[in-house]
Amino acid sequence: MTSLDRLILLLTGLIALYLVVTFFQAGRRGGPESRPPLYYLVAFAVLLVAGLLLIALGYGVLANPLVVIVAAFIPLALSGGLVAQLYPRSERTYLTFAVVGFLAIAITRLTGPEGLATAVLAAVHAIAGLVIFLAPLASFAQGKRPWSFAFVTVGGALIGVGGIALAFLKAGRPILPAEVIFAILAPLLFLMTASFAWGLTRDTRKA
């Protein structure tokens, strides 16, 4: 990992910290509208910790199964927040999927085999990623959210690209050379976090 990578990850961490504070304050208001911010709080708190681990330990920490398991909170919590915000009647159903999906990732990642663990990880991430990508886009297209909310879709696309690239790399079938993946990972995380910050916080202000 280069010094530039660490600088970019530090900037990413600062944005994540801002989002943690923002959604913590929003979640303290109480009532049904406080539920989505709590999901987002979990997602960006995990992202903040993950970024700090990458800065301290480098990309090698991604090989640790515990890191992979905990990192699953990011797409699951983000997608859960979107469901709670946009489709509150489906929140419990999606929360059940998120819990089952997280447990499946944890069990297969710790017990193997590697192929099954990768398949489960990819499947759960794919469903969460589709929610993050499609739900904000549909809401904006229907005129239910401001144009800035579409940036959440941009963040969803970026998190999907990064997740797929890392999953295939872990499976031994990289879609890009490892050095290319790690070269673009820090900028990808920064752009992803910035997109989520713009889309989610601007929507909160409009509301």
How many domains in the chain? 1
pLDDT band at 32 (very low <50, low <70, confident <90, very high): low
Mean pLDDT score across all residues of the chain? 87
In this predicted structure, what is the pLDDT of residue 80?
94
Per DSSP, the three-state class of 61 is: helix
pLDDT in tens, 18-27: 999 999 988 8
pLDDT of residue 98: 95
Provide mean pLDDT across the span 161-181. 76
| CATH (domain of 145) | 1.20.1070
Domain interval for residue 79: 3-206
By CB neighbour count within 10 A (0-12 exposed, 13-18 middle, 19+ buried), where does 28 fall? exposed
The confidence score (pLDDT) of residue 11 equals 96
pLDDT given for residue 207 in this prediction: 43
pLDDT score for 205 = 46
> Model-level pTM?
0.87
